[in-house]
Structure 1
């Protein structure tokens, strides 16, 4: 017997349009409150934005079999997506209206395996340095006992929102 999973998402242009008209922290708080739709990747992997403040963002995920790789643990791409989201949104939370960011790089260190037995994990992103054109952020992936599962650093390019 196979397993199935069904999910839906909203038009991604709607939140993208909203992001262009707000400061980063305001936009992320609207997403967290459910007044702006979650991005499709959040629905696809089933992770949530739990906390956001200036220079910090926290996402969580309850690992499921749908996240597994062929060797029976959560795929590293799922780790990387959570870490990239936390680091990137930490940067976004510092941006004024009219500014945007994109990830330039992401360096991930995988420290422990994750399975359905791990329980809920949290990716905690913080800004380390914010310049005019480049921001440096880090993110830690931890379990319920705050054991470090993975760590990432990310450089993000900052730029004016295109007209």
Structure 2
């Protein structure tokens, strides 16, 4: 049986234009409050930012069939996107106004399969080290029973961003 899904997103230029005008944590709090739009990838995959505090960011997703790979479980790319988002936004949460970041690498370990029966999963990112040019963060993907599903380490490059 065929299935379909429809979603909408906001202009990503709105949030991108606000990066240089906020500290990283204030920027994330603006997204949480709905004053800045979430990124289009969040709408495409159906995940949301649930928490943001200094050095920590949490994203949630309820897995659906649209996330499946051909063998009947959630695709590793979905795991990677959630973990990259959590680690990256944890780094963003410690950045001062006028500083941006981009991921340099992501090392990922898959530990358990995820299906629609898994229920809500959480990607929890935390900063391990912040420097002037790079930062290191980790992220864990956990189920509702706090079982570890996957883990990632990410290094990020930091750079100046001018207010728009």
Supply the distance in 1 between the matched residues of 2:75 and 2:32 (Cα, whole angstroms): 25
2:133 aligns with 133
TM-score, normalised to structure 1's length? 0.98
Deviation at 1:102, TM superposition (A): 0.3
How many angstroms does 1:145 deviate by? 0.6
Q: Does the 8 Å contact 2:19/2:161 carry over to 1?
A: no
Give the CA deviation at 1:162: 5.0
Confirm or deny that 1:66 pairs with 2:74: no
Q: Quick one: distance in 2 between partners of 1:12 and 1:43?
A: 12
Moved over 2 A (4+): none
Structure 1 position 77, deviation (Å) = 0.2
Give the aligned partner of residue 92 of structure 1: 92
Name the structure 1 match of 2:56.
Answer: 56
TM-score norm. by structure 2 comes to 0.98
Root mean square deviation, CA, Å? 0.8
Number of aligned residue pairs: 163
Partner Cα separation in structure 2 for residue 19 and residue 162 of structure 1? 8
The aligned residue for residue 144 of structure 1 is 144
Secondary structure, aligned partner of 1:83: helix
Deviates more, 1:18-27 or 1:63-72: 18-27
SS in structure 1 of the partner of residue 82 of structure 2:
helix
Question: Is 1:16 matched with 2:22?
Answer: no
3-state SS of paired residue (1:152): strand
Q: Give the Cα separation in 2 of the matches to 1:114 and 1:51.
A: 22
- SS class of match (2:94): coil
Question: Structure 1: any 5+ residue segments left out of the alignment?
Answer: none
